[in-house]
Amino acid sequence: MPTSSSDNEKTFIVGPETADCTGVAPMKCLQVKEKASDSWQNFYTNIEGFTYEPGYEYVLKVKTEKIENPPMDGSSIKYTLVKQVSKTKK
């Protein structure tokens, strides 16, 4: 019987607006924080299975997986949506 491993799950709060940021090239980044009291951080990768809609604040449960051979310009962690906990109009 598989056990659910919560050590590779995180809860993210995603802000209602994206921000200009620069990875390999200028792009738009999601604004993400792990606790309501944290300040917003640029999130340079995508969350597989999550479709962002501007104007809403989301609470998401995501699974993180280490990528063995990440691309030079990419994240070493893959983020996959487990559950959208809430979506609030802002």
Q: Name the pTM for this structure.
A: 0.84
Identify the pLDDT of residue 3. 47
> pLDDT (tens digit, 9 = 90+) per residue, 59-68?
999 999 998 8
Measuring CA to CA, which residue among 82, 84, 72 is closest to residue 13?
84
Average pLDDT, the chain: 90
Confidence check: pLDDT of 2 > 50: no
Residue 68, CA distances (Å) to 20, 45, 47, 61, 74 in order: 29, 16, 18, 23, 12
Confidence check: pLDDT of 5 > 60: no
Q: How confident is the model at residue 85 (pLDDT cuts 50, 70, 90)?
A: very high
